[in-house]
Amino acid sequence: MTTDENVHYTRNTCRLCGSKDIPLVLPLEKIPVVTPNIGSLNEYDTENINYAPIDLYQCQNCQHIQLLDMIKPEFQYRNFKYKTTVSPGLPEHFITYAKDCIERLQLAPNSLVIEIGSNDGTLLKAFKAQGMKVLGIDPAREIARQATADGVETIDDFFNTDVANFIVNKYGKADLVVANNTIANIDDVKPFAEAIKMLIATNSHFVFETSYGYDVIQDKLLDTIYHEHLSYFMVSPLVKFFDSLAMTLYDVQKIHKKGGSIRGWVQLCEGSQNISTSLAEFTEQESRLSSNNGIEQFKQWINSCASEVNQIISTSPLKVSTFGASVGSITLLHQLKLGQRLTVMYDDSPVVDSIFSQQHIIPVQHSDTMYDTEAQIVIILAWRYADRILARHAELVKRGWRFISILPEVRWL
């Protein structure tokens, strides 16, 4: 299989408000369109793997931060590899999340809960365990098939107004529609939201979780920037966006997942929920990004981090490897210019056997193989789990291995 040039395309308008005033605010190194979530390198012609930009742009009309360079959804998601259960702590988070929604919204038994981008059905299983009827929609054919076989009926398609119309005719309106780490992956957000609107009634709700753009910039969450994540949502632009569709974002909560996320609660404009004071608190916080030159500080941090890590590598006699072989790792490899300096990448649950970085193929091995080789410097790209990784592999430290975490700062562990 090859990756022809048609898998990458570019838009020139803000995906929330349609403005064309969207200057570049954070230039970044291009990354390959083939990532661990899309498949193994042996499925592709590595001579012709394309690179595409992941530069960030910010709309001057509504302030939405976004990518304008995209990979076609059919290429990216039809054979998607990532499963929810791979992320430590996420299944447990979803159990709590389902209970919170049911309690807050006072959902009766057998209420219909629909998830868009339901992946392997982990969240819907949590709702089902609480007595809800559930339905998933996900374009990853094999994952959707397996979820259905596991008891979570899943439509294997991209969500749009045609799918919404089919669902309403067959199942009726939903009591709750959820989308978790999904809306940031959508290019045409307006028709997506209009399709959600078709699924809900006056007393229904749409609840979403997504990476929080303010945290991405303020906390330098570089590994969350890649082609799947097209939007880095903040509350102020979202309020205006939903208002334009006669919908109301009535509450936002901070969620400490994936480095920093938000959970948004949405209803039709005629809904009965009062608007929370949290919205004003979030928007006030976001207004400080510009005054503090947050994006410029992020840019400077990337350069500083790259210099510091490469200085460590260049002065060490040990070979260098990394821990964590996810799509976010691809971004870190390219921004920190590590690709050609690595001998291997390790992972507790590798989904591919190699990764492509800076025209260099890097083998990916299970972390157990670390015990069969000589001491190395290991740069932990899966930084959120650095303490867990170090505790699990404490024996290697005794053998002379050195571990470095790069976020939130470069530090020896």
Query: 65-118 pLDDT, tens per residue?
Result: 999 999 999 989 888 887 877 677 788 899 999 999 999 999 999 999 999 999
Number of domains into which the chain is organized: 2
Residues 329 and 282 in one domain: no
Contact predicate 11/57, CB 8 Å: no
Nearest in space to 322 (alpha carbons), one of 284, 294, 282, 357: 357
Output the six-digit token pair for 132. Answer: 């809800």
Nearest-angstrom CA–CA distance, 6 and 252? 38
Q: Is 227 a member of any domain? A: yes
Q: Is residue 195 part of a domain?
A: yes
Helices (H), 315-408: 327-335, 386-392, 394-398
Examine the domain organization and report whether 108 and 220 are in the same domain: yes
Q: Is the peptide bond before 363 cis (omega within 30 degrees of 0)?
A: no
Do 246 and 331 lie in one domain? The reply is no
Is 109 part of any domain?
yes
Asked whether residue 57 is assigned to any structural domain, the reply reads no
Q: Which of 177, 179, 126, 116 is nearest to 151 (CA)?
A: 126
1 part of a folded domain:
no
User: Residues 275, 394: one domain?
Assistant: no
Same structural domain for residues 287 and 304? Answer: no
pLDDT tens sequence for the chain (413 residues): 455 557 889 999 999 999 999 999 999 999 988 888 887 676 666 666 788 999 999 999 999 999 999 999 998 988 888 787 767 778 889 999 999 999 999 999 999 999 999 999 999 999 999 999 999 999 999 999 999 999 999 999 999 999 999 999 999 999 999 999 999 999 999 999 999 999 999 999 999 999 999 999 999 999 999 999 999 999 999 999 999 999 999 999 999 876 689 999 999 999 989 999 999 999 999 998 876 788 999 999 999 999 999 998 888 888 999 999 999 999 999 999 887 778 899 998 888 888 887 677 889 999 999 999 999 999 999 998 999 999 999 999 999 999 999 888 898 98
Please indicate, yes or no, whether residues 317 and 238 belong to a single structural domain of this protein.
no
Give yes or no: residues 211 and 119 share one domain: yes
The span from the CA of 376 to the CA of 318, in Å, is 5
In a domain, 61, yes or no: no
266 and 303 housed in the same domain: no
With beta carbons less than 8 A apart as the criterion, state whether 377 and 312 touch. yes
Q: Which two tokens stand for residue 109?
A: 């038994």
Spatial CA neighbour of 49 closest among 346, 365, 361, 328? 361
Same-domain status, 134 and 271: yes
Q: How far apart are CA 388 and CA 30, in angstroms?
A: 31
Q: Is 314 helix (H, G, I), strand (E, B) or coil?
A: helix
CATH number at residue 325: 3.40.50.720
Pair (124, 205) in one structural domain: yes
Q: Write out the residue range of the structural domain in which residue 353 sits.
A: 295-412
Of 261, 291, 321, the one marking the end of a domain is 291
Listed residues 257, 291, 325: the one ending a domain: 291
Residue 185 in any domain: the answer is yes
**Residue with tokens 């939201």, as numbered in its chain:** 193
Alpha carbon 341 to its chain centroid, in Å, reads 27
Q: Are residues 261 and 140 in the same domain?
A: yes
Domain boundary among 256, 291, 326: 291
Residue 249 lies in a domain: yes
Q: How far is CA 161 from the centre of its chain?
A: 24
Q: Of 373, 382, 381, give the one whose Cα is nearest residue 400.
A: 373
Question: Do 141 and 107 fall into the same domain?
Answer: yes
